[in-house]
Amino acid sequence: MTETPAFDPYAADCPSRQLVDRIADRWAVLVIGVLSEGPARNGELAARVGGISPKMLSQTLRGLERDGLITREAHNTVPPRVEYALTASGASLQPVLMAVEQWARDHAGSVLRAQAAYDG
């Protein structure tokens, strides 16, 4: 029986570190947030995730797909249509990322005040 190795994101060479990097990436968090509402096309994602460049959106989608967090489905239509959706693994991140999103909403004011005090 083969044992599953213990993953340690604090170890520099551990693959789990790459997963932490992926899900802590601001663009990945926002794309997953949009996809948590249902499948979306590239243009819809770009419109919902303000400030993301086409290149960064493309890189983010490829990385999330590679990591098995989203699926890419190309529909054979004219013009071609591509839709992205969360996988079961991607959907399992929703509660964690929604908690981070809510924390940011709840604490943005106090963080801005702390920054102003520090900078002043």
- pTM listed for this prediction: 0.86
1 has a pLDDT exceeding 70: no
Q: Give residue 107's pLDDT.
A: 97
Quote the mean pLDDT of the chain: 93
Q: Give residue 80's pLDDT.
A: 86
52 in helix, strand or coil?
coil
Give me the residue spans of the domains in the chain: 15-119
Please name the CATH architecture into which domain 15-119 falls: Orthogonal Bundle (1.10)
Find all residues with CB under 8 Å of 57, minimum gap 6, and list them: 27, 31, 42, 45, 46, 49
Cβ distance 73 to 82 under 8 Å? yes
Q: What is the pLDDT of residues 60-93, one digit of tens each?
A: 999 999 999 999 999 988 888 999 999 999 999 9
Q: Give residue 78's pLDDT.
A: 87
